[in-house]
Amino acid sequence: MSIASSIKVDESSGITYLNIENDFACAQVSLYGGHVLSYVPKKDNKERLWLSPHAVKTGEKPIRGGIPVCWPWFSDDHGREKGELPSHGFLRSQVWKLTSSQDTSEGTEIVITPSFTRADGFEYDCDVSLTVFVGETLTVTLQTVNKGLVPFTFNTALHTYFEVENIANVQLEGLIGDYKDKTNNWAIKSTPADYKIEQETDRIHLDAAKSVIINENGDALTRVNSSGHDSIVVWNPWQGAASISDMDAFGYKQMICVETACTQGYSLSPEERHTLTQIIHPV
């Protein structure tokens, strides 16, 4: 298979990286975890994805930051005791492979697939692929196809970490309705009209907003468009970052997660497919 000319392949500490540069943007994808690590549009040369400076990039554990792929469950919602199965599923801790790539007049497209999709906790036959398009926007699409004879139910998310200068100056726009607050025993609360992050935040927004804008210092920085989802998850560990081994104690000030997710159980019949898409628009 020939590789698109905009892609340079690199390897470090046993991990293979796809470094993409075209007329519109630069990006980096790790084949360990099927993980987008960086996206820098050339219109303003601002990094949109946050990557922890303490991220472990040796293949020993999932990489902290970028766009982790959560599948076939979200968080520890796998029906077992917490810790018995890997949090957020098993795709983000395996080696993926590049199956196709192409350059177009609008950017670069790659398709990658995981080594396996059947493991402890998910005993079903299916195909999974991640399509990443790097152009004036970054489009990430996770597709699941049921290849078996029985239906199954799964959850999934694109757990995107966005980089900001200072979380104190960040405001989210576009979220409405109720959310489930993990920090308060999953209490149902109303989304604030003035949406700022001022404490530990771990919320599943049940109104599946199609567009969320990340504002900083009163200006729009990034618009996040979503489809195929039933929830938007917002996460910032706040001072709890100090207890996260692969995150700086003050790293929470430079990031916010706005995640395109299915958290309420999506059922897929034989030969049916589900497509989860997140589009990152520099504003």
pLDDT tens by residue, 13-56? 999 999 999 999 999 999 999 999 999 999 999 999 999 999 99
Q: Domain 7-165+228-282: which CATH class?
A: mainly beta
Task: Supply the pLDDT for residue 1.
Answer: 78
Write the CA distances from 187 to 73, 178, 180, 181, 206, integer angstroms.
Answer: 21, 10, 6, 5, 12
* Residues of the chain below pLDDT 70: none
Return the structure tokens found at 10: 């690199």
Whole-number Å distance between alpha carbons of 100 and 164: 32
The domains of the chain are located at: 7-165+228-282
The catalytic site residues sit at 159, 259
Write b or e for each residue in 188-222: b if 16 or more Cβ atoms lie within 10 A of its Cβ, otherwise e: eeebeeebebeeebbbbbbebbeebbbbbeeeebb
| Unique residue bearing structure tokens 């694109």 | 158
- Rounded to two decimals, the pTM is 0.97
Q: Is-contact 64 56, C-beta < 8 A?
A: yes
